[in-house]
C-alpha cells in the first residue's frame, strides 16, 4: 500500500462516510482523520460517532459543537437578509456548508492534512459549496469526494460495508440533512412531482390537519434585526430557535415544498421543515414594513435576493458577500421592536408590532379626527406627478398604450 497522504474526512457517521474511512485507507492509501461537527442536528451522539471512526481505523477523531457560531454568524445573517431561496427555502443546508468547510480547513491545518474529503454526490449543490469554500480559504488543499469521483452507488457501498464489517446505520428511505435552521428531505417518493409530500416525511412539523386545535401566540423581540427574546424571555439565538421550532412545528408551520433549481442546472423536488426559520423571517419582514421606507424596502429586496442566490450557490466566501452583509447590517439598524404572531394550523397571522423605529404615523395616515396631513396640498402634487404619463401619451397620439387581449 503506497501512502498517498493525510486526509481529513468530514464524517457524519452515516453509511457513505463510514465506507469512506475504510476505502480511503485501503484503496487510496490515505492516513485518515475525521471531523464531526454538531450544527444542531437532532439525533447526534458525537462520542459514539467518534468511536465508530476509531474502530474503522481513523487516526484522529475530532468533534466540535459549532451550533452557536452557526446561529450567531450564519443564521443571523440569513434572518437579516430575509433569506428565502426561490421565495421559500430558508437555506438551512446551504448556510451550514461554508461553516463546515471553514472548520475543516482549520482542522486540516492543525493535523497537517493535505486533503479534505467530503461525502457529497456529483448531482447536488453541496459539492459546489464545500469545494468553492475550501479553495477560497486554502487553494493548496486537495479536495476529493469519493461517492462522486468513484461513482459508487448505494448497493456497492452496502456490499463493501458488509465485507469490511462496517455496521450499516438505518437511514430511513429519505436522504435527510439536518441542522439548527432546518431539515432537508429528498429522495424516494418525494422525487415524483405528481404526488404530494407523504406524511412520513414530516418530523418537525405537524401536517396542518394534525396540528393542534388551539393557536399559540408568540412575540419576538428584535434588536438591529436579530431576534433576542421569545415571549418576553431574553434568549440567545440558538435557544430561541430550538424553542420556537417546537411551538411553530406543533402548529403546522414550516413545511415547505419546492421545485428547486440547483446550481448544476437540474430541477429537483424538495421538502423542508424549517418551523422557526419561517416564523422568524415572517416576523422580521413584517417589522421591516414598519421601519423602512419604500426606497429602502425596494433596495433590500434586491440585496436579499442576491444574498439568497449567492449563499445557495456556494459563494459565502466571495468578497461580494462582505458588501451585501454590510448593506444588510446598515439596513437592519432600524429593525428594533417586538412582533406578535398567531400560529394556527399551518398559518402565521400577524397580530401586532411595537417599535420605536416605526415610520407608521397614525396622525398622518388616519381617516379619523385629529389628523395632521394637509390634504389641500395633494392636488398640486398629483398634477406634477401625472405630467410624465400625460406628456408621453400625447407624444404617442394614444397609439399602442393599452394592450388588447384576445377574448
φ, ψ for residue 362, nearest 5 deg: -65, -30
Least Å distance, CB 57 to ligand ARG, is: 26
Q: Using CB under 6 A, which of the segments 104-112, 170-178, 240-248, 392-400 binds ligand ARG? A: 170-178
| Catalytic residue of the set 82, 126, 177, 304 | 126
Q: By C-beta, is 310 or 357 nearer to ligand ARG?
A: 310
Instruction: Say whether 126 is catalytic.
Output: yes
Instruction: Say whether 97 is catalytic.
Output: yes
For residue 159, the number of C-alpha atoms closer than 13 Å in the C-beta half-sphere is 5
Q: Does 12 bind ligand ARG (CB under 6 A)?
A: no
In this chain, which of 24, 32, 176, 253 binds ligand ARG, going by CB under 6 A? 176
Instruction: Say whether 200 is catalytic.
Output: no
Q: Does 60 bind ligand ARG (CB under 6 A)?
A: no
Question: Residue by residue, what is the 3-state secondary structure of 144-195?
Answer: ECHHHHCCCCHHHHHHHHHHCCCCCCCCCCCEEEEECCEEEEECHHHHCCCC
- Site residues for ligand ARG, 181-240, by CB under 6 A, read 184, 186
- Site residues for ligand ARG, 257-286, by CB under 6 A, read 260, 270
Give how far the C-alpha of residue 398 lies from the chain's centroid of Cα atoms, to the nearest Å: 49
Contact 123, 266 (CB under 8 A): yes
Q: Does 175 bind ligand ARG (CB under 6 A)?
A: yes
Contact 154, 188 (CB under 8 A): no
Least Å distance, CB 93 to ligand ARG, is: 4
Least Å distance, CB 291 to ligand ARG, is: 30
Name 122's bridge partners: none
Q: Using CB under 6 A, which of the segments 169-177, 235-243, 338-346, 368-376 binds ligand ARG? A: 169-177
- Site track 93-132 with ligand ARG (rule: CB under 6 A), x = hit: xx-----------------------------xx-------
Contact 346, 277 (CB under 8 A): no
For residue 161, the number of C-alpha atoms closer than 13 Å in the C-beta half-sphere is 19
Q: What is the distance in angstroms between the CA of the first residue and the CA of the last residue of the chain?
A: 76
Virtual CA dihedral for 158, 162, 165, 170, nearest 10 degrees? 50
Grid cell 485501503 is found at: 26
Q: By C-beta, is 314 or 337 nearer to ligand ARG?
A: 314
Q: Is 13 left (phi over 0), alpha (psi -120 to 50) or beta?
A: left
| Catalytic residue of the set 18, 81, 82, 97 | 97
Instruction: Say whether 313 is catalytic.
Output: no
| Catalytic residue of the set 59, 64, 175, 313 | 175
Annotated catalytic residues are: 16, 97, 126, 175
Residues at the site binding ligand ARG, with contacts judged by CB under 6 A: 93-94, 124-125, 175-177, 184, 186, 260, 270
Amino acid at each position: 500500500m503506497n501512502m498517498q497522504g493525510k486526509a481529513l474526512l468530514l464524517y457524519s457517521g452515516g453509511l457513505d462516510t463510514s465506507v469512506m474511512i475504510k476505502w480511503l485507507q485501503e484503496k487510496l492509501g490515505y492516513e485518515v482523520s475525521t471531523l464531526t461537527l454538531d450544527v444542531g442536528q437532532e439525533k447526534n451522539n458525537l462520542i459514539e460517532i467518534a468511536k465508530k471512526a476509531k474502530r474503522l481505523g481513523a487516526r484522529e477523531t475530532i468533534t466540535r459543537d459549532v451550533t452557536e457560531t452557526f446561529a450567531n454568524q450564519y443564521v443571523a445573517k440569513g434572518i437579516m437578509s430575509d433569506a428565502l431561496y426561490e421565495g421559500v427555502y430558508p437555506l438551512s443546508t446551504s448556510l451550514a456548508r461554508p461553516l463546515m468547510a471553514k472548520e475543516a480547513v482549520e482542522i486540516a491545518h492543525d493535523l497537517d492534512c493535505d486533503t479534505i474529503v467530503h461525502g457529497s454526490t456529483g448531482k447536488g449543490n453541496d459539492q459546489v459549496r464545500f469545494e468553492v469554500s475550501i479553495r477560497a480559504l486554502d487553494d493548496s488543499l486537495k479536495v476529493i469526494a469519493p461517492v462522486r469521483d468513484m461513482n459508487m452507488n448505494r448497493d456497492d457501498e452496502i456490499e463493501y460495508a458488509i465485507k469490511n464489517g462496517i455496521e450499516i446505520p438505518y437511514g430511513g428511505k429519505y436522504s435527510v440533512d439536518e441542522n439548527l435552521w432546518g431539515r432537508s428531505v429528498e429522495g424516494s417518493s418525494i422525487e415524483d412531482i405528481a404526488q404530494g409530500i407523504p406524511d412520513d416525511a414530516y418530523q418537525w412539523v405537524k401536517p396542518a390537519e394534525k396540528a393542534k386545535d388551539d393557536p399559540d401566540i408568540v412575540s419576538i423581540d428584535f434588536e438591529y434585526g436579530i431576534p433576542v427574546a421569545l415571549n418576553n424571555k431574553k434568549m440567545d439565538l440558538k435557544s430561541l430557535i430550538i424553542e420556537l421550532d417546537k411551538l411553530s412545528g406543533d402548529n403546522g408551520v414550516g413545511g415547505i415544498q419546492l421545485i428547486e433549481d440547483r446550481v448544476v442546472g437540474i430541477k429537483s423536488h424538495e421538502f423542508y421543515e424549517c418551523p422557526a426559520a419561517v416564523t422568524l423571517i415572517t416576523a422580521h419582514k413584517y417589522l421591516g414594513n414598519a421601519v423602512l421606507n419604500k426606497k429602502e424596502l425596494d433596495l433590500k429586496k434586491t440585496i436579499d435576493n442576491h444574498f439568497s442566490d449567492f449563499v445557495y450557490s456556494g459563494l459565502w466566501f466571495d468578497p461580494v458577500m462582505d458588501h451585501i452583509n454590510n448593506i444588510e447590517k446598515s439596513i437592519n439598524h432600524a429593525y428594533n421592536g417586538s412582533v406578535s404572531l398567531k400560529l394556527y394550523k399551518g398559518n402565521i397571522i400577524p397580530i401586532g408590532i411595537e417599535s420605536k423605529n416605526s415610520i407608521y404615523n397614525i396622525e398622518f395616515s388616519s381617516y379619523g379626527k385629529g389628523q395632521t396631513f394637509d390634504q389641500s396640498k395633494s392636488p398640486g402634487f398629483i398634477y406634477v406627478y401625472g405630467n410624465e404619463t400625460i406628456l408621453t401619451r400625447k407624444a404617442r397620439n394614444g397609439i399602442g398604450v393599452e394592450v388588447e387581449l384576445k377574448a
